Amino acid sequence: MEQFGPQVVVGGMPWQAKGEEKTFGHNALTANVLCERHNSSLSPLDAEAGRLFRCLTEGFDHITKKSLSTKTAYFFASGEALERWAIKSLFAFYHGGLAWADGKRLRDGVRFDETLARRAILEELLSAPLGTYVHPNIGTDFSRQVQWAPLLSNGTGALAGVRVQLLGITFDVLVETAEAAFHNKSNAHLHRPTVLDLVGRTRTSRIFLSWYPKIAAEVHRIGILIAPKWFPLSRLQS
């Protein structure tokens, strides 16, 4: 996990006060919930997820830097690796006791379908509507630290997935059917996009995300407006 910076910022959880965050070292997110063989085989996921985060950071820098260029920059990363890595981190949140609700650790009182999540990590990606959703709207926090937040289902109260944010860009990875169905019906989310466009004032960064061929039978493009005309560019570059 060193690819994501020296620390992990946990914030934005439903049970946290507004603006509240907790910071952990990488060792806190390495709960030994899988056997040694599986932990070892999954270690490349950290590098692949780190590659996507670097693409987002470099793409963000390309469209916000001061330049007369209007060229589009192209990047390639694995959407599948991000999804599997996010679910892997969810195990660490849950079993490592990092997440709390109503004064109790989530692992002590919140249901979590571990069988389903393990299958997503070790075997194959989950069938729709489960999986990764991307928000088309940029957030207001342009932190360059990767931020995690476990998601609880509004319908069942179960552990529904994990939210990953970087530079205001939000990925929700869902492993609970009720919450995934809500996301799937919402126009505010796109399920497993294959093209992610970061759109600036004069330039675009296009990130291609790979998935299993049977999942990515069609091209799903999502555009995220990073720097609208009314948005001060200095805020993005601070």
Q: What pLDDT shows up at residue 155?
A: 77
Tell me the pairing of strands 204-210 and 73-78: parallel
* pLDDT tens by residue, 68-94: 889 999 999 999 999 999 998 888 878
pTM summary value? 0.80
Angstrom distance (rounded) from CA 111 to CA 135: 26
Q: Name every residue whose Cβ is closer than 8 Å to that of residue 187 and which is 6 or more positions away in sequence.
A: none
Q: What pLDDT shows up at residue 132?
A: 93
* pLDDT tens by residue, 113-141: 888 888 888 888 888 889 999 987 776 66
Q: What pLDDT shows up at residue 75?
A: 97
Q: What pLDDT shows up at residue 218?
A: 61
- Measured from the Cβ of residue 98, the count of other Cβ atoms closer than 10 Å reads 22
Q: What pLDDT shows up at residue 83?
A: 93
If you count them, how many residues does the chain have?
A: 238
Which amino acid does the sequence have at 60?
F
Q: What pLDDT shows up at residue 219?
A: 67
Q: Tell me which residues of the chain have a pLDDT lower than 50.
A: 1-4, 6, 12-15, 37-38, 228-238
Q: What pLDDT shows up at residue 2?
A: 47
Q: What pLDDT shows up at residue 149?
A: 80
